[in-house]
């Protein structure tokens, strides 16, 4: 699978990891437990949403490629007759 913008993904997941570490730190200290729980829920939800979107985009791209290559396999010429 082709992953465009790999640097963006690395930065995004590093930021997500830092937020999760901060949530763990808050919960270990016993302060603001609701904030740490909310951070975990938000980061996990956003990551799952992005993952689902990427899978859908990849599936749509594969179907488009199948449609485009199916026309080529039917024996149609791309050039007009006589050329």
Tens place of pLDDT per residue across the chain (83 aa): 555 677 777 888 889 899 989 999 988 888 888 888 898 899 999 988 988 988 898 899 999 888 888 777 665 555 566 55
What is the enclosing helix (H) or strand (E) of 30? none
Q: What is the pLDDT of residue 42?
A: 92
Q: The whole model's pTM is what?
A: 0.65
| Number of other residues whose CB lies within 10 A of the CB of residue 23 | 21
Q: Which 3 state secondary structure label does DSSP give 5? A: coil
Q: What is the pLDDT of residue 18?
A: 92
Report residue 80 CA to chain centroid gap.
Answer: 41
Closest to 16 measured CA to CA, from 34, 52, 42: 42
- What is the residue extent of each domain of the chain? 6-68
């Amino acid at each position: 699978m082709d992953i465009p913008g790999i640097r963006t993904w690395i930065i995004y997941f590093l930021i997500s990891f830092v937020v999760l570490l901060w949530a763990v730190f808050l919960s270990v200290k016993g302060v603001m437990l609701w904030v740490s729980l909310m951070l975990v829920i938000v980061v996990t939800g956003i990551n799952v949403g992005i993952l689902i979107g990427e899978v859908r985009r990849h599936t749509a791209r594969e179907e488009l490629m199948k449609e485009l290559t199916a026309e080529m396999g039917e024996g149609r010429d791309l050039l007009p007759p006589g050329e």
